[in-house]
Structure 1
């Protein structure tokens, strides 16, 4: 919907909003509120960022480039806010927060699956149902509008779906960097540009990337258990730079 190869929840600030809200929940409310509300807190943070993103990027509509530029700025601000919350926490809680922010599936269990299952069951089919609209928008906003697609409404709706999916994932696995950037590009190479074909493959590849990163963290540096997010960032950051370089004339 954004038609920018660099756009991902990390870059747009959605992951940062979810992470900040989750750290706030774990720091100040975990002792009094059930941990099952953590996905709600993460999605609320991501939703607030999305509203701010849309408000700041809106000028007679929202363009893909403005969304990405505003998202990068919001992501930097949220990173600073999250770091401040971690620094003001006690030592043990700060260490746990740093590991969680890096991104890790260590200690994940079936309770975590049940926590995010309702959001996944509702939002994944909704995203898949809009596959045709996403394919049309790839041709350009004007072409999509001419074909009868409500471009701005669909873009906002699908951003809301992304907020829900990213928020629920962050609430369990933390801020796994660049998975949302790597997996769709891999799926596009394998399946072509059609969103209906690419989407399920992207979901599968994202899961595989996380599992491989987790295995690498557990096996390569024993007895240390390195968070999976270290490896996803190590691969994703160079890939992001490569995308910037390869698309420098079209961005």
Structure 2
């Protein structure tokens, strides 16, 4: 059990009573991990293969449709030449969300929905090796994360991951950063319901055996923060340092830009 301090100020309720925290729920991409280089390579490859496969399988379409498709996908994915937008589908959405975004773009350039879905599956099959353990640019932990997790562990505060990555991706990341033993649970895209459904937060809290009112959640997307708020999590924090572009977080949520800004103080029983 612990209290959390943000830049030296105890996080407390409206009456000034410090919140007692027994568990912290972390988003993964852009919060626990710096995933942007991997996700940029993945989204870029999906655009390339989408154009290539569209031309190969549907030569009856005008060549200009390839340029149109690339533009639609880049905007949907949040992909620019050098970066991934932290609120785009690649950063926030699950694999299935991105697959539907891809199929929608293909439908907009002239494919029927069955053909669009089939081609999307082919595009993802060609690029899935660039994600997770297969990536040559594997995610690394955000700066200072290990120190924070150690402080939480010392205060007997459980740690968990809530992410739209699949269970294998979460497990591989934690193992690669030597964090596996310090996270007690995860809620992934393989679970139901998925985030941003507030029921996902409640289910993860139940798996931890911790009441939601004794939890904190930290994430880099408004969908994460609003989900936690709707689930009744009392301490909801935005994290801004996981992307090259600062996430556009709602100012109603307190935010931090480095894990050193968050202090863990053991609370009396």
Output the TM-score relative to the length of structure 2.
Answer: 0.31
More helix by share: 1
More strand by share: 2
Which structure has the greater CA radius of gyration? 2
Output the TM-score relative to the length of structure 1.
Answer: 0.32
